[in-house]
Amino acid sequence: MGRRSKKIVATNPLNWVITTEISINGRNVSPGTELSIKGERGRFRFMQHVVNANGVEWIDVVGGRKNYDLQRSFKIDRVKTVHRIARTRKNIG
């Protein structure tokens, strides 16, 4: 008899604050803005900013090395550069 698969339910706790615009390093960041992250290769596209009930905050991004689209989360202090010019394929096209 096979294993029963678990259902994954994505929930947003009521005490989390999710925003789509934030200021990082003095620049306004909205969905699609490209960022470079310290210690990571490639560029990432910003998706959202999250603050949980304990005051811990992070950003959710998509991207990474060329030809790889990974969804990742990073603390804001790891952002190295907020890019002016979009260079990833999905932002250009």
Q: Which residue has the higher pLDDT, 14 or 50?
A: 50
CB 48 within 8 A of CB 3: no
DSSP state of 2: P
> Where exactly are the structural domains of the chain?
17-92
31 to each of 7, 22, 25, 35, 60, how far by Cα in Å?
29, 10, 16, 11, 10
Residue 14: predicted pLDDT = 74
What mean pLDDT comes out for the span 7-34? 83
Does residue 9 sit in helix, strand or coil?
Answer: coil
Dump pLDDT digits (tens) for 26-60.
999 999 999 999 999 999 999 999 998 888 999 99
Spatial separation of the C-alpha atoms in residues 54 and 43, rounded to whole Å: 29
